[in-house]
Structure 1
Amino acid sequence: MPDLTLTQQLTELITAKAVLPTDLERAALLTLDAIANALAGRATDPGAILVRWAGATPDTDAARRAFLWGALTHILETDDLHRASVVHPGCVVVPAAWSVARREGLRGHAMLKAVLWGFEAATRVGMAVGPSHYRIWHNTATCGPYGSAMAVAALLQLEPAQIVHALGNAGTQSSGLWQFLEAGTMTKHLHAGRAAEAGLLAADLARFGFTGPPTILEGAKGWFAATCPDADPGAVTRDPTGPWQLLQTSIKPWPSCRHTHPAIDAAVELRPQIVAGTIEQIDVETYPAALEVCDRPLPNSEYEAKFSLQHCVAAGLMLENVNFAAFADVARAGLADLRERVSIRVAEPYASAYPRAWGSAVTVTVRGGQQLTVRRTHAKGDPEAAVSPVELIAKARMLMTYGGVRDPDRLIDDILALSDDSPLPDLPCKHD
């Protein structure tokens, strides 16, 4: 396809991929994970602000509903993550697809096909941006609009030329900077919401003939030129006959930044071997991105603790459960002394393996000089160390209960039934 633009090639690749019943079943599970995260997100301070905002605009349209649900989904740091692209696709794609599927009166198969298409677009663009992009730009925010646009294009059955216009106008809206981490603000949730809304708007406009730049990715004044100094454009269309990227997406078991997870896994395995009060030193080996995003020895808030390798490793070593309470004020105060003993460095093989694999090692030196080490090549929830459907459903039940859902099992069953082409269920919120 040498004469086609990258977005034209991406459109051809995605629209040609076969959708198997097993793909729909997996898409239903990841849809469940995203919806459960959104419902739980309402029970947080940022979530309460978002819900109050939505309540003040009762005539919210599909794009604004996608914004709301996208933002809610990304609050608790328990939503999915695609490693090779460093994109959280579910918090962008599922809210956009759900909002439009509800608006258009569509059923389960259409919804889940849209989710597959959306994950594919967001992650393929994400795999192409290069590591330098991620140092300043938040990939979920910047690559997400391509995914929400592609998902909505599937639901609206847009023609290929219309999809290219939608992707062009989705890409020109891409934004989202990591500066929020310096102050621990709520901006990251805004990123997911805007990415969901932007792509939805782009696809809706394309249906009416609104045009967008077909070379938005590779053009001389396009996205790669502007934000990606070491872009890999070939990644957009690499391995076209491989499995859907949704099947390569990881599920998060711990409520913290995914970069902390392999170290948490190692710490949790070490915990039964450690006698309280005997730890003298903790050494963590990881990859550069984890150090850049999560080197935070003095977290001053719950949110900062979720982006602190020091805190997360201390929690894994000392606490029975690395749950929401593990990042609250009491836990942060109780783990302060242990955090001071954590040293973090970049090391092989983890540096070279990233982003294909997100690994880490934790070595604990105890009184007397004995050293205990656990290494992780992959984090729990990665395809190579996958959580089972039973574990994912249990996670969804926990999140829904946290979010105040009265009958989580019924809603779980209704969402999973989308793979049987059931209608979309009502969500326990007037803004669904």
Structure 2
Amino acid sequence: MSLTRDLVRLIRAKPVSEEDLRWSALFVLDTLCCALGALKTEPARMLRAVAPPESGDTARRAFYLGGLAHILEMDDLHRQSVVHPGSVVIPAAWALAEERNLGGRAFLKAVLAGYEACCRVGMAVGKAHYRIWHNTSTCGPFGSAMASAELIGLTEDEAVWALGNAGTQSSGLWEFLAAGAMSKHLHTARAAESGVLAALLAKEGFTGSDRILEGEKGFFAGLCPDPVPAAVTADPEAPWELVRTSIKPWPCCRHTHPTIDAAIALHGELKGAVPARITVGTYQAALDVCDRPQPEDPYSAKFSLQHCVAIALMDGRVVQSSFGPEARARAAELRKKVEIARSPSIDAAYPDAWGADVSVETTDGRKFNALRRACKGDPENPVTSAELAVKGRMLLTEGGMTPAEADGFIASVEALTEDRPVASLGLFRRGEAPVVKRRSA
């Protein structure tokens, strides 16, 4: 027996309720809105140029949609695994379900299976893995392969082969952040594509290692200094990992969200008082990725705790324009007053809880504090379907839809629980976007 075989059996034994399908549809809606909302961006133009969805190549379509879904940094996040499952699993499942004209219920069940696979592998990699490797990129192929396996009807052996060949394609390094490069979009694109390819190959009899995780020269040995292999199959009776996933209310790195949540609350308390000193206590992984006191572009600002806390304190909200040149210039002086440090208690709770402790001392000597163990969008404080519709409408109109078209699209995705055919939504026909100006060399 192997971990991947045990994982396949665990997933296929889990019961699926109507409520599970409803949650699956909500996460599909969130991911697709994130993808379509990015259509007018320059990275979207680049992805389309290399992997045009009208080509009819299923794996390339998964690549394209996977890249799109991660551009705006508004896609979901599973805390315990530190994986963005939606931007990997849903593009792979959608590309296959649309190509094969499958119904919505089979598609939504496959999404549940895909989330389960990549999140369980992600929970097993250990904390040290994340310092070098991007968990979404390394663990994501297991999820896209599992979802694909369900949709194309792989046998148990074939599903194990698919996971084996998904794991051997795992990659994705954090080095891109040092230069503010676009590689993070490539991470989700390739993870989605890799799972589709692995599953399609398995259907043809193309074998993969059944010990890709725990083998002497496998995934844990090569990429994980402190793995927790038992996490792959722990607590099999637990709810689906999809329902333990967080939906983002703010368009930036999820590590900044507890700090933003606390800062927005403090904005209402300050009532115009001028901060003299701002301290942020957080967990080590947030410091590793988001300690960026002087972000020089929108993307690095989305990974800057200093900028996020400053702009949230100033404006009481965080939106896409919060990371542009005007907002960065406006927050420059306040960013200098921000001190960030590891909080032992908050760090000890990570990754089960992502927290932040924000304190503000004002120029008139008053002190304010807000502590967050969880924030808006987490399972403990979830977004409602109405709030998600507001987020989706905003993203879809930014991507080029009219409000009426956006409402129609939202209703169509929600109807997947009634077994509406996936192809009837014509998602890849919506992949058109106005030409945008190319970035100069």
TM class by smaller structure: over 0.9
Which of the numbers 317, 323, 348 marks the counterpart of 2:319? 323
- 1:70-109 maps to which residues of 2 (within 5 A)? 70-109=66-105
Corresponding residue of 2:346 = 350
Corresponding residue of 1:42 = 39
Which region of structure 1 is more displaced relative to structure 2, 413-422 or 84-93?
413-422
What secondary structure is seen at the aligned counterpart in 2 of 1:197? helix
What secondary structure is seen at the aligned counterpart in 2 of 1:74? helix
1:193 and 2:180 are equivalent in the alignment: no
What secondary structure is seen at the aligned counterpart in 2 of 1:85? coil
- Encode CA deviations 1:162-187: one digit per residue, 9 max, x unaligned: 00000000000000000000000100
1:116 and 2:112 are equivalent in the alignment: yes
What secondary structure is seen at the aligned counterpart in 2 of 1:178? coil
1:54 CA drift (Å): 3.3
Corresponding residue of 2:201 = 205
CA–CA distance in 1 between the matches of 2:69 and 2:251? 12
Query: Structure 1 pair 339/429, CA: closer, same or farther in 2 (3 Å)?
Result: farther
- 1:203-352 maps to which residues of 2 (within 5 A)? 203-276=199-272, 278-352=274-348
What secondary structure is seen at the aligned counterpart in 2 of 1:365? strand
Asked if the contact 1:122–1:147 (Cα under 8 Å) also holds between the matched residues in 2, the reply is: yes
Which of the numbers 394, 405, 422 marks the counterpart of 1:398? 394
CA RMSD of aligned residues (A): 1.2
Corresponding residue of 1:167 = 163
Identical aligned pairs, as a percentage? 54
- Encode CA deviations 1:334-382: one digit per residue, 9 max, x unaligned: 0000000000000132110000000101100001221100000102100
CA–CA distance in 2 between the matches of 1:123 and 1:402? 30
Which residue identity lines up with residue 247 of structure 1 in the other structure?
Answer: V
1:59 CA drift (Å): 2.2
1:276 CA drift (Å): 3.7
Asked if the contact 2:74–2:251 (Cα under 8 Å) also holds between the matched residues in 1, the reply is: yes
- Encode CA deviations 1:225-257: one digit per residue, 9 max, x unaligned: 000010000000000011000000000000010
1:321 CA drift (Å): 2.7
What secondary structure is seen at the aligned counterpart in 2 of 1:18? coil
- Encode CA deviations 1:78-130: one digit per residue, 9 max, x unaligned: 00000000000000000000000011110100100010000000000000000
Corresponding residue of 1:51 = 48
Corresponding residue of 1:409 = 407
Asked if the contact 1:264–1:312 (Cα under 8 Å) also holds between the matched residues in 2, the reply is: yes
Instruction: Give the number of aligned pairs.
Output: 428
Which residue identity lines up with residue 414 of structure 1 in the other structure?
Answer: S
CA–CA distance in 2 between the matches of 1:127 and 1:421? 32
Corresponding residue of 1:429 = 429
What secondary structure is seen at the aligned counterpart in 1 of 2:361? strand
CA–CA distance in 1 between the matches of 2:144 and 2:372? 33
CA–CA distance in 2 between the matches of 1:50 and 1:431? 11
CA–CA distance in 2 between the matches of 1:62 and 1:405? 25
Which of the numbers 10, 13, 17 marks the counterpart of 1:13? 10
1:264 CA drift (Å): 0.2
What secondary structure is seen at the aligned counterpart in 1 of 2:279? strand
Structure-2-length-normalised TM-score: 0.95
1:28 CA drift (Å): 0.2
CA–CA distance in 1 between the matches of 2:125 and 2:117? 13
CA–CA distance in 1 between the matches of 2:286 and 2:5? 34
Which of the numbers 66, 79, 82 marks the counterpart of 2:62? 66
What secondary structure is seen at the aligned counterpart in 2 of 1:88? coil
CA–CA distance in 2 between the matches of 1:316 and 1:390? 24
Structure-1-length-normalised TM-score: 0.97
Corresponding residue of 1:420 = 418
Asked if the contact 1:42–1:51 (Cα under 8 Å) also holds between the matched residues in 2, the reply is: no
- Encode CA deviations 1:190-229: one digit per residue, 9 max, x unaligned: 0000000001100011111100000000000001000001
1:157 CA drift (Å): 1.3
Query: Structure 1 pair 47/142, CA: closer, same or farther in 2 (3 Å)?
Result: same
